Amino acid sequence: MTDIRTLGEFIVEKQSDFPHASGELSSLLGSIKLAAKIVNREINKAGLVDITGAVGENNIQGEEQQKLDVYANDKFKAALEARDQVCGIASEEEDEAVAFHKPLNLNAKYVVLMDPLDGSSNIDVNVSVGTIFSIYRRVSPVGSPPTKEDFLQTGNQQVAAGYVIYGSSTMLVYTTGNGVHGFTYDPSLGSFCLSHENMTIPQDGVIYSINEGNYIRFPTGVKQYIKYCQEAVPEEKRPYTSRYIGSLVADFHRNLLKGGIYLYPSTASYPNGKLRLLYECNPMAFIIEQAGGKATNGFQRILDIPPTELHQRVPFFVGSTNMVEKVEGFLREYP
Ligand code: AHG
Ligand code: MN
Ligand code: MN
Ligand code: MN
Q: 291, 259 in Cβ contact below 8 A?
A: no
Given a cut of 60, whether residue 1 has pLDDT beyond it is no
Q: How many CA atoms, within 13 angstroms, populate the side-chain half-sphere of residue 184?
A: 10
The amino acid at 325 = E
Q: Is 63 in the pocket of ligand 1 (CB under 6 A)?
A: yes
Per-residue pLDDT at 17: 65
Closest ligand 1 atom to residue 247 Cα is 9
At 229 the pLDDT is: 98
Amino acid 296: pLDDT: 98
Give the Å distance between the CA of 119 and the centre of ligand 1: 5
Cα(325) to centroid of ligand 2, in Å? 29
Task: Report how far residue 29's alpha carbon sits from residue 11's, in angstroms, rounded to the nearest whole number.
Answer: 9
Q: What is the pLDDT of residues 81-99, one digit of tens each?
A: 998 999 999 999 999 999 9
Q: Is the CB of 105 under 6 A from ligand 1?
A: no
Exposed, middle or buried, 314 (CB in 10 Å: 0-12/13-18/19+)? buried
Is residue 92 lining ligand 1, measured as CB closer than 6 Å? yes
Q: What tens digit of pLDDT does each residue of 122-175 get?
A: 888 989 999 999 999 999 999 999 999 999 999 999 999 999 999 999 999 999
- Indicate yes or no: pTM above 0.95: yes
| Spacing, Cα 280 to ligand 4 middle (Å) | 9
Count CB atoms within 10 A of the CB of residue 195. Answer: 17
Please write the tens of the pLDDT for every residue from 232-253: 999 999 999 999 999 999 999 9
pLDDT digits (tens, 9 = 90+) for 18-68: 666 668 888 999 999 999 999 999 998 877 777 778 888 898 888 889 899
Helices (H), the chain: 7-13, 22-43, 67-82, 103-106, 148-151, 220-230, 248-258, 282-290, 321-333
Protein residue with its CA nearest to atom 12 in ligand 1: 246
State residue 255's pLDDT score.
Answer: 98
219 compared with 19, residue with greater pLDDT? 219
Residue 88: predicted pLDDT = 98
Question: Mean pLDDT across the chain, nearest whole number?
Answer: 94
* Cis before 202? omega within 30: no
Strands, sheet with 261-264, edge to edge from the N-terminal-most edge strand: 241-242, 207-209, 261-264, 316-319, 294-296
Among 166, 275, 316, say which to mutate for ligand 1: greatest number of ligand atoms within 8 Å of CB: 275
Q: Is the CB of 140 inside a 6 Å radius of any atom of ligand 1?
A: no
pLDDT in tens, 206-217: 999 999 999 999
Question: Is the alpha carbon torsion for 160, 312, 295, 211 positive or negative?
Answer: positive
